[in-house]
Amino acid sequence: MSDSSPRSALFHPALFKAALLLAGLFVLSAWGFAGGGISDIALAVVTYVFLVAAGLVSALALTRRRHPRPDLDEGPKPNDPFDLWADREVEISTGPMRGRIATVETLLPIAAVAVGMVAFALVLHFAGHA
């Protein structure tokens, strides 16, 4: 990209929503391992940690929406299309990165864990009932 292309220091709101949905899928699929005893307590604690994390992310997003920072660029608005943001460069700690690459690098780890947990839960379900 050229140096004159607009940069964003903020991630698009859809990226946060996707991460929260994938985390919810992970927690739901983890409950497929519930079998009584200590595992239910551990699953309840994991669920609590994910709910607290989701609540903090949501609270920070609402705060950012109500109190925008003038020292940062305009950033994405909730109504802006994702494609517009993805074509821009995003400032991250290691330097500018294309929005599409930042999206993949952000969502890939949680997506891999969530899909893997769903696969394990399905294997356990069908192996246990065979």
Q: Judge whether residue 128 has pLDDT over 70.
A: yes
pLDDT of residue 60: 84
The predicted-structure confidence for 71-91, as pLDDT tens digits, reads as follows 665 556 656 788 888 888 888
Q: Judge whether residue 9 has pLDDT over 80.
A: no
Rg (the chain; Cα; Å)? 19
The predicted-structure confidence for 12-63, as pLDDT tens digits, reads as follows 888 888 999 999 999 999 888 877 778 888 889 989 999 999 899 889 878 8
pLDDT of residue 2: 47
Question: Which range among 80-84, 102-106, 113-117, 125-129 shows the weakest confidence by mean pLDDT?
Answer: 125-129
Q: Judge whether residue 1 has pLDDT over 50.
A: no
- Tell me how far apart the alpha carbons of residues 18 and 108 are, in angstroms, rounded to a whole number: 11
Q: Judge whether residue 113 has pLDDT over 80.
A: yes
DSSP letter (8 states) at residue 72: S
pTM recorded for the entire structure: 0.79
Q: Judge whether residue 107 has pLDDT over 80.
A: yes
Helix, strand, coil shares of the chain, percent, nearest 5, are 65, 10, 25
